[in-house]
Structure 1
């Protein structure tokens, strides 16, 4: 099974203020790691402030590939999950997950001793749309796990979770991650780190 390449079109304005296409090319900021087999992340756009600047640079996906969105910003990305190999998964631990996530600046985001080696959380609100295939979203307790299929959407609000493709086909999810906070002391979430 092969990962997809994505065409990314970016609009803008010329010097006279006319709407134009500033960039039309294949998305190039991707991350695949041997210690997270079968998963590819592709970034399409990053913002580093709210409100977002829409007449700024034509390219925002430069530098290191980081899991979480920039402070006060957002990231628009695609994650492709190939079916998991149960034998490989049985050999992995949350330490393996921490090593893999450290490559994205997020080693501390792994839930040590979690139900799945990639159980993690981010301080963000994430909008996800399952484009194809199906995938399990694992939560802290098995009774809260949910099978998501093509066309389903999820709003992930800073909770511990992992993605497990236990099917036979690839699953693609489009995500927008928005930097977030919890109401320290009064919210339901874990206080900020």
Structure 2
């Protein structure tokens, strides 16, 4: 897939140990991260790493194998028993898509400026280095620029069932096409 406008192609380096116990770079997977364009062409996504289970099992590369499975069969936005780290590249002028993940998400703006839009109508502009702790609320992201792509790095982790206003919160993908429900 083509790069998102002027944004660089990030690399992922996974460390491991050699037979002597020294830290080395694992060469199981390519360093270049794969990006996928969602059918609406609003965002490009790169699932940088996925884990399952708490705590994560590193023995015999089990965590790398879990990630490889998720590369072959991508997860929904979240994984109910693990973590997801993902780049989201947002097209300039793209319509913000209101949605909710049932997770605790850390979002850090890496490039550009984005507007966080909440279903209450409250908004905030986040610039490079700013972060949002997203707590299973209905929200959308809008790239403030009409000419340049923006990139946000998200780390998503599952949460216990969460009740708001007497109703259990559920995942709502809204108009986000090409993303399957989380499991």
TM-score of the pair, normalised by structure 1: 0.72
Relative to structure 1, the CA distance from residue 137 to residue 16 in structure 2 (aligned partners, 3 Å threshold; closer, same or farther) is same
**5+ residue gaps, structure 1:** 90-115
Aligned mates of 1:189, 1:18 — CA distance in 2:
52
What's the C-alpha RMSD, in Å, of the aligned pairs? Answer: 2.2
Q: Name the CA shift for 1:120/1:54 in 2 (closer, same or farther; >3 Å).
A: same
* Corresponding position: 1:163 with 2:158: no
Q: CA deviation at 1:6?
A: 1.6
Aligned residues: 158
Deviations 1:44-77 (A, max 9, x none): 1100111112342435142322332222200011
* Distance across 1 between alignment mates of 2:8 and 2:44: 9
1:93 maps to none
Query: What does 1:15-164 correspond to in 2, within 5 Å?
Result: 15-23=19-27, 25-28=31-34, 30-35=35-40, 37-55=41-59, 56-57=61-62, 58-59=64-65, 60-61=67-68, 62-85=71-94, 89=95, 118-142=97-121, 144-164=122-142
Task: Judge conservation of contact 1:182–1:190 (CA < 8 Å) in 2.
Answer: no
8 Å CA contact retained: 1:158, 1:189: no
TM-score between both structures, scaled by the size of structure 2: 0.76
Residue 14 of structure 1 is aligned with which of 15, 18, 21? 18
1:124 and 1:178 in contact (8 A); partners too: yes
Match of 1:4 in 2: 8
Q: More displaced, 69-78 or 18-27?
A: 18-27
TM-aligned CA distance change 1:189 to 1:46, over 3 Å: farther
SS in 2 for 1:26: coil
Q: Please list the CA deviations of residues 102-149 of structure 1 after superposition, one character each: whole Å capped at 9, or x if unmatched.
A: xxxxxxxxxxxxxx5x2110110000110111011110122x111111
After TM superposition, give the deviation of residue 2 of structure 1 in Å: 4.4
Structure 2 alignment gaps of length 5 or more: 171-183
User: What is the CA–CA distance in structure 2 between the aligned matches of 1:18 and 1:8, rounded to whole Å?
Assistant: 20
CA drift of 1:22 comes to 0.7
